[in-house]
A and B are shown apart, each in its own frame.
Chain A
Amino acid sequence: DQQVKQNSPSLSVQEGRISILNCDYTNSMFDYFLWYKKYPAEGPTFLISISSIKDKNEDGRFTVFLNKSAKHLSLHIVPSQPGDSAVYFCAVTHPGSGTYKYIFGTGTRLKVLA
């Protein structure tokens, strides 16, 4: 039973255009959401996060949107650059639950074409 789903295994985007990566979750108790980026042969690196009290968080070219009613979050990258080509994982957690565990999605492989 996948509690966090990234339904698009891959995505190709032209350099300079917007990349939109999506993530859906099932449990409305999740209240903290993160995106990680992973290059081949490296561990994931933290990108951006958002708490459930917000619906948007921006950091440079990266913006995360949270739609709690739809249990959906998305990561927008504008403008996309070839160096953004990587696998992107969303992760959710419920800090107040006491269990303190991340649940990761299966990842979306983004390819930015020059």
Chain B
Amino acid sequence: DSGVTQTPKHLITATGQRVTLRCSPRSGDLSVYWYQQSLDQGLQFLIQYYNGEERAKGNILERFSAQQFPDLHSELNLSSLELGDSALYFCASSVGQGFIDEQYFGPGTRLTVT
């Protein structure tokens, strides 16, 4: 158990809909990272927050947005969903704000768009 929790575990929704994925980092970790893993693909970095502020941005679509709240949990919002958005979404956390920090991953949320 990494100490990072993600809810829900599974999500099935229709095209055009909007969903919110939630992540609670390990106690004491200030950074939260979001990743997308599509079928047979590596992990694609989406976005990082550090202590409530956006720290780095990767290949995140404009239809996607995220935020980190004062209690340090984070939410990833996916809107106008398309079939291609079906993937595993992982959240990770680390103590510091740099990518050389060891990241602890949650178990992921599997999103299926039908």
Q: Which residues of A contact B (CB under 8 A)?
A: 4, 6, 32, 36, 41-46, 49, 51, 89, 91, 93, 95, 99-107
Hey, which chain B residues are within 8 Å of A93, CB to CB? Answer: 99-100
User: Which B residues lie at the A interface, using CB under 8 A?
Assistant: 2, 4, 33, 35, 40-45, 48, 55-58, 90, 92, 97-100, 102-108
| Cβ contacts A to B, 10 pairs, < 8 Å | A4-B42, A32-B99, A36-B105, A43-B105, A43-B108, A45-B2, A95-B98, A102-B33, A102-B103, A107-B42
B98 and A89 contact, CB distance less than 8 A? no
| B108 proximity list for chain A (CB < 8 A) | 43
Establish whether residues A89 and B42, one from each chain, have CB atoms under 8 Å apart when the complex forms: yes
CB atoms of B45 and A102 under 8 A apart? yes
Contact between chains at B44 and A104 (CB < 8 Å)? yes
A46 to B4, CA, bound (A): 14
| Contact A106-B90, Cβ < 8 Å, known A43-B2, A95-B98 | no
A100 touches B98 (CB 8 A): yes
For B107, the chain A residues whose CB sits under 8 A away are 41-43
**What residues of A have a CB within 8 angstroms of the CB of B99 in the complex?**
32, 93, 95, 100-102
A49 to B103, CA, bound (A): 12
B106 A43 Cβ-Cβ under 8 A = yes
B43 and A44 contacting across the interface, CB-CB below 8 Å: yes
A36 and B43 alpha carbons, distance in the complex (Å): 11
Which residue of the partner chain, among B42, B48, B56, contacts A105 with CB atoms under 8 Å? B42
Are B42 and A43 in contact (CB-based, < 8 A)? no
A93 to B107, CA, bound (A): 23
Residues of B within 8 A of A44 (CB): 43, 90, 105
Query: In whole Å, how far is B29's beta carbon from the nearest beta carbon of chain A?
Result: 13
Nearest CB of chain B from residue A106's CB, rounded to whole Å: 4
Residues of B within 8 A of A4 (CB): 42
- Pick the contact of B43: A41, A51, A95, A104 (CB < 8 A): A104
Chain B hits for A51, CB < 8 A = 100
Question: In the complex, what residues of A have CB within 8 A of residue B58's CB?
Answer: 101
A46, B99: Cα distance in complex, Å: 12
Given contacts A45-B2, A91-B43, A101-B99, 14 further A-B contacts (CB under 8 A): A43-B90, A44-B105, A93-B99, A93-B100, A95-B98, A95-B100, A99-B56, A100-B55, A101-B57, A102-B33, A102-B43, A102-B45, A106-B40, A106-B42
